[in-house]
Structure 1
Amino acid sequence: MAFGGASAAAVTGLAYLTPGSEAVPIMVGVALCIAFALLLLLLHRAVWLAVLSAVPALFVLFGAVRYAPEAALEQRGVRESVVIVADTAAGTSSSNHRFTLRGADGKELEEKLGFDGDAWAPKVGDRLDVVRDPEGAVPMEQADDVDAAGRLGGLVGGTVTWTLMAVLAGRRGHVRRRRGRDSLLYQLL
């Protein structure tokens, strides 16, 4: 149980320390999620619960990595209405858009808005509300996409589920060991 909570806290803290880069907390988070699954496997002596732990691991990982930048944008971010004036992916087969934006004052913003995907990508001429960090530490995001409370909810929900899984694994593993029944995988280890 402690390892699950410590893993969530470590990834969240790492995301706070590296606000512009998501790669480092994601790599550390994936490693900690795999380690948690292995600990459940050893504790529970069955594969199904370790595999099932991947679902809350996604909530923990996504919540921990996205909470810090979105909380920073909510606390100190500047909300601004902008118009898209250019798209670097326009006319290409790329789904990696980098939008050039013009503010309400008529000046182009230095920072570009990134958007991955084509299904609901905004088009040149569309008006958007964005939140940008005046310090420039956190990338700009669409205002509708900033939801720190939702990310925190996912992080807490995933961590609570991990905790319940650890209790279940410990109890079931204890009962199986007491009865002298081990899984085939544990016997191979």
Structure 2
Amino acid sequence: MAGVPLCILFAVALILLHRAAWLAVLSAVPSLFVLVGAVQYAPEAALEQRGVRESVVIVADSAAGTSSDNHRFTLRGKDGSELEEKLEYNGDAWAPKVGDRLDVISDPQGEVPMEEADEVDASGRLDGLIGGTVTWTLMVVLAGWRGHVRRRRGIEYDLPV
């Protein structure tokens, strides 16, 4: 929750301090990588480290026959027992159907919701988080250097370039 206001504050600070809206626009891309990486890295890392991988079959869909995009799949394991936790899926772009087989990773401690195994990529989230942070840091240094050089040359900040 704090990430979005901080990103907006960063963009406003760039506009006010450097009178350069293009810096604020450029800061939006690395901020997305930082926000997405920060939010999704921890759960995916927990699933990768302590998660249990299991092949399952979808036996029921709570949204079957409705126009709802929110699916809650009831799953059955290889041993024939129904899993306690339900797999949640939002969207219709590619919604699995009853009878489909999936590989899922579930948290034995129950702290992280179950996910499809092929969608868990903690290292990719970490790469995005690090890349966004490094890019943001470089932008701050370059913006500061640009402001320093412009002040030494006596250039006023009356134009938004």
With normalisation by structure 2, the TM-score equals: 0.93
Q: Hey, what does 1:165 align to over in structure 2?
A: 139
Query: Which residue type is aligned with residue 30 of structure 2?
Result: P
Matches within 5 A, 1:118-137: 118-137=92-111
Distance in 1 separating the partners of 2:151 and 2:59: 66
Distance in 2 separating the partners of 1:96 and 1:56: 30
* Secondary structure of the structure 1 residue equivalent to 2:53: strand
Query: Which residue type is aligned with residue 107 of structure 2?
Result: D
Q: Hey, what does 1:37 align to over in structure 2?
A: 11
* Secondary structure of the structure 2 residue equivalent to 1:53: helix
Q: Hey, what does 2:42 align to over in structure 1?
A: 68
Do structure 1's residue 84 and structure 2's residue 52 form an aligned pair? Answer: no
- Unaligned 5+ segments in structure 1 are 1-26
Residues matched between the structures, number = 159
Report if aligned partners of 1:130, 1:140 keep a CA contact under 8 Å in 2. Answer: yes
User: Percent sequence identity over matched residues?
Assistant: 79
Distance in 2 separating the partners of 1:116 and 1:141: 12
Query: Which residue type is aligned with residue 156 of structure 2?
Result: R
Task: Give the alignment's Cα RMSD to 1 decimal.
Answer: 1.3
Matches within 5 A, 1:83-102: 83-102=57-76
Distance in 1 separating the partners of 2:123 and 2:16: 34
With normalisation by structure 1, the TM-score equals: 0.80
Distance in 2 separating the partners of 1:118 and 1:107: 27
Change (3 A) 1:98 1:126: same
CA radius of gyration, larger in? 2
Query: Which residue type is aligned with residue 180 of structure 1?
Result: I
Q: Which structure dedicates a bigger proportion of its chain to helix?
A: 1
Matches within 5 A, 1:46-57: 46-57=20-31
Q: Hey, what does 1:138 align to over in structure 2?
A: 112
Report if aligned partners of 1:80, 1:131 keep a CA contact under 8 Å in 2. Answer: yes
Q: Hey, what does 1:182 align to over in structure 2?
A: 157
Per the TM alignment, residue 184 of structure 1 is displaced from its structure 2 partner at its CA by: 4.9
